[in-house]
Structures are given as C-alpha cells and as structure tokens.
Amino acid sequence: MRKKRLAVIGAGGVGNVVVQKCARMDDIYEEMLLASRTQSKCDQIAARSGPVPVQTARVNADEVSEVVSLIKDFKPDVLINVALPYQDLSIMDACLATGVHYLDTANYEPPEIPKFEYSWQWAYRERFAEAGIMALLGCGFDPGVTSVFTAYGVKHYLDELHYLDIVDCNAGDHGRSFATNFNPEINIREITQKGRYWEDGKWVETLPLEIHQSVDYPRIGQRESYLLYHEELESLVKNFPSIKRARFWMTFSENYITHLRVLQNVGMTSIEPVDFEGIAIQPLQFLKAVLPEPASLGEGYAGETSIGCQMRGIQDGSERTCYIFNNCSHQEAYRDTGAQAVSYTTGVPAAIGARLMATGAWLEPGVWNIEEFDPDPFMELLPVYGLPWEIIIDGPLAFEDLPESSDD
C-alpha cells in the first residue's frame, strides 16, 4: 500500500493528541502537515512528534481559498479537522474543491446562533459522493466512540435497541477554580442551551441543566449527572430507528455549576455583542480569552474520565442490557501526549478514524456518521492506541433507570 499524506487543521489540545498519535503511524503515513491560525502552536506540537515528519503552516480556516491553497500545496490524502465547529463547512468546501477525504470530531455550529445539528453537513452528501470522496462526521469520543459503542452493542448483543443512555463523567481535578476541558466558548454555548432527549418518536425539550440525578460510574462512584442535548443523539436515532428513548448525561461539580450560574447572571456567557468604549465585543469570547487554555491543564491533572453507553433492548426474544465504557486516566494521557484526558479521548478516536480511511477499511464516497460503518475494526484499535474499553452484559449498570425529572 502506498503511504499516505495527512493534513490536520487545529493546534489546540485535541490537535496535539491527533498529531502525536498519527505521527507514530509510520506504517501508514509518509508525511504530515499541521496548520492553524497560530503557526507557533503548530511548531511546538511538530517538535515533539514523530517519526513521521510534520510540516507546519498558518491558515485561516474561515477562508475557503486559504484552505484550498494549503491543500493544493501539500496534497494530502485525508484531512482531519479539529479546528472550531464554526469552520466545518469552509473546510468541507475546500475538500470538495480539491478532492480530499475529510474527518471531523464535532458538527457544524453557526457562530451567531448557539445551535448545532447535522443538517448543514448532511446536505453535502450527494456532492461528496459525486466527487468520489468521503466525509466522516463526529469521530471524537462523544460523538464518536459513543456512536461506535452503540453500533457494536447492536451488532453483537441486541437484535433491537430500545433504550440508550450515554453517560459522560470527568472525575478529574485540575486544581483551577474554574476552567473548561475543551474550547471554553464551545463548551459554555453547549451546556447553557436547553436540554433535549428522544422519546416515542419525538424530541422532548427541557430547561438547561433542569434534569439531573446521581449516577454510579465504574471505579469512580456516584457523581451528579445532568441531562444535555448532544449531537450524536440526532444521528443515532436516525440510524437505529428501533430506539424508543435516547438521552445524554454529563457530570458537573457543584463548584462548576456555581461559577457558571454567576457568569450567566452577570451576562458573561452571552454571545450578543456589547459596546465597550466604542468597540463591539462578545462577552463569551472575552471570557474565553481570560479562562485557562484547555491545552494547559494536563500537567498535574489527577483522576480519570468514564464515558459509556448503557443500552437496553431485545436479544433472541428476551430483554438484555449492555454497558460499554472506557475509563481514561488524566495522568496516563499526560505521560503519553502531554494532554489531559478530555483532549486525549477526543484526539485518539480521530487518529483511528483517519487510519481506517487511509487504509481503505472505512472508505465510501459520501457524508457519513461514524456509527454507519462496521464498528469492529475501530473497537480493535481503541486499546492499541490508548483507550481500552470494557463491556458488561446483563450485569450491574451505571444506573437502573433515571426519572424523567429531578423532581420525581
């Protein structure tokens, strides 16, 4: 097999993990390119990566013409987008114009509206298919691994999936009074939106963080978990139509919630511009500028994450439960790549997805969500690249069945 050329756009915490992991795949890649708006960040990552050589460049991913020029100069076979979700469409446009396969970890979100959904990217399906190139959407952890966990459970353990609960716990301690584990702007926009879950063929909306309950996470214990809307729910209920109910839960500490509510109360999480001494500024973007850089949290971060899929359905006419999960140590992630576990658990799956595309194991023209491919090759590679997973069949689960409301 001819060795491939890989381009990566985005030099944050996730980009660091992606590049370091892919640069160790010298059986697949002959050369790599890392580009972002700040080339010095790319240079720092490239300097600690190898053995595959990593070039660096500056690019404004909002500008299709700049991304096209970058691609034409380097001529990659696959491009991994770990920039901001706002830039998904401009990068997809550039891949279409140059005939390059595309992969991302988060779906498109318009900068002026705190809303994310797959419709904008699914609209590219025919154009990518006609161009003979592939776009793989949502190849991080959630979305990403959680989608593959679901597909694996259905393939091997459930004839019909009826109930799905995705649970995401970060039980780590970074020692900061308040910080976000990935891009603060994207993180805060996500959790301050209304919650949503799928039940009986329709979406049910809740107030932000209205529904919460204590969940027992493997080897971590009880943690308060909040119902959010998360993007993989949209594609999973579409691709697994037997689902009767699908929900997503994430843990937040009392300290985090208190800080967030204060910031909301004083208007610092708003995306509406305000006038400051004649300059229009967006409060949330200013807040992002003063919060710790997520990539800086790795050193000294203790504890671990636990993310999994609890599934309940029918196998051979009888009810069956299936719980697939991964626990990831912040300390081990830092030793491997200098990153904290949230960046690690997003970057490793992106590197695996690109590998499967580069080798042809997953390669089909069009626009696809990750759960639409055979989950087995991906599941085999997860422990190889640092994310071992476990499965519990018909045993104790993270929780039995959470109520519809925290008041129940």
In percent, how much of the chain has pLDDT > 90? 74
**pLDDT at residue 107 in the model:** 92
Would you place residue 285 in the very low, low, confident or very high pLDDT band (cuts 50, 70, 90)? confident
Residue 200 pLDDT > 60, yes or no? yes
**pLDDT at residue 71 in the model:** 98
Would you place residue 276 in the very low, low, confident or very high pLDDT band (cuts 50, 70, 90)? confident
Q: Which domains does the chain have, with CATH numbers?
A: 4-140+340-383 (3.40.50.720), 145-338+389-393 (3.30.360.10)
Residue 296 pLDDT > 90, yes or no? no
Q: In 3D, which of 306, 314, 323, 316 has the Cα closest to residue 152?
A: 323
Residue 403 pLDDT > 70, yes or no? no
Q: Report phi then psi at 247, rounded to 5.
A: -140, 160
Residue 402 pLDDT > 70, yes or no? no
Q: How far is CA 79 from CA 121, 145, 389, in A?
A: 16, 19, 27
CA angle 52, 81, 59 (to 5 degrees): 85
Q: What is the mean pLDDT of residues 103-130?
A: 91
Which pLDDT tens digit goes with each residue over 335-373?
A: 999 999 999 999 999 999 999 999 999 999 999 999 999
Which pLDDT tens digit goes with each residue over 133-150?
A: 999 999 999 999 999 999
